[in-house]
């Protein structure tokens, strides 16, 4: 009884709210690409769909594998493996297309498999190490570390901005 009464005081309540505020967490959808675990903010994902037939578009970069129509809208699909310059392998049944929206424009990201959702506090997110800043590191927004069971897990947070920014006409 007394515990509950204590919790109910305004002061305690506010303290709890502040504590919550000081430790805001981000929900991150994690997925696998080329054996590595990546993540993007779950709020940037509109939906996750199964792989379907993609219509290739000529004169676009190779990582842009084509277009699909989702609910009447044409969406370009980016193969994240190719985008991240990882070796290409044919997609399996677990492959999914993440439909993300960037500045009002939808994009599809082809991933090997979707793992799940983790919550990360800001304190659990590292800025990318400077050694990774060049080269492939341009897609890195940070590295998240969280505990899953007894093990420390690592999530590579992708910068969607960088992933979807490319010059379509210029590529091969």
Provide the minimum distance between the beta carbon of 77 and other proteins in the complex, in angstroms, as a whole number.
11
Q: Does position 149 bind other proteins by CB under 8 A?
A: no
Task: Tell me which residue of 45, 28, 44, 46 sits closest to 116, measured CA to CA.
Answer: 28
Q: Does position 166 bind other proteins by CB under 8 A?
A: yes
**Out of 33, 40, 75, 120, which residue is the one contacting other proteins (CB under 8 A)?**
75
Q: Does position 140 bind other proteins by CB under 8 A?
A: no
Spatial separation of the C-alpha atoms in residues 81 and 33, rounded to whole Å: 6
Cβ-proximal residues to 66 (8 Å cutoff; 6+ apart), any chain: 54, 55, 56, 57, 76, 77
Spatial separation of the C-alpha atoms in residues 81 and 78, rounded to whole Å: 9
Provide the minimum distance between the beta carbon of 74 and other proteins in the complex, in angstroms, as a whole number.
5
Q: Does position 62 bind other proteins by CB under 8 A?
A: no
Spatial separation of the C-alpha atoms in residues 44 and 160, rounded to whole Å: 9
# binding residues, other proteins (CB under 8 A): 24
Q: Does position 39 bind other proteins by CB under 8 A?
A: no
> Which tokens belong to 153?
């897990």
- Provide the 8-state DSSP code for 159: -
C-beta of 12 vs 55, nearer to other proteins: 55
C-beta of 59 vs 147, nearer to other proteins: 59
Return phi, psi of residue 66, to 5°: 145, -160
Q: Does position 59 bind other proteins by CB under 8 A?
A: yes
**Out of 72, 87, 135, 149, which residue is the one contacting other proteins (CB under 8 A)?**
72
C-beta of 64 vs 156, nearer to other proteins: 64
Cβ 121 vs Cβ 27: under 8 Å: no
Provide the binding-site residues for other proteins, judged by CB under 8 A: 53, 55-60, 64, 67-69, 72-76, 105-107, 164, 166-169
């Amino acid at each position: 009884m007394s515990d509950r009464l204590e919790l109910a005081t305004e002061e305690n309540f506010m303290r709890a709210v502040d504590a919550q505020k000081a430790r805001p967490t981000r929900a991150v959808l994690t997925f696998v690409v080329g054996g590595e675990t990546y993540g993007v903010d779950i709020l940037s994902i509109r939906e996750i769909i199964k792989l379907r037939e993609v219509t290739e578009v000529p004169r676009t970069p190779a990582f842009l594998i084509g277009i699909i129509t989702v609910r009447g809208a044409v969406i370009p699909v980016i193969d994240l493996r190719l985008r991240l310059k990882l070796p290409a392998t044919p997609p399996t049944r677990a492959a999914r297309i993440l439909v993300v929206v960037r500045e009002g424009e939808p994009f599809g990201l082809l991933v090997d498999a979707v793992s799940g959702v983790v919550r990360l506090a800001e304190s659990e997110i590292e800025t990318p190490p400077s050694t990774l800043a060049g080269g492939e590191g341009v897609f890195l927004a940070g590295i998240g570390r969280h505990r899953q069971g007894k093990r420390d897990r690592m999530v590579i947070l992708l910068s969607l901005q960088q992933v979807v920014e490319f010059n379509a006409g210029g590529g091969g």
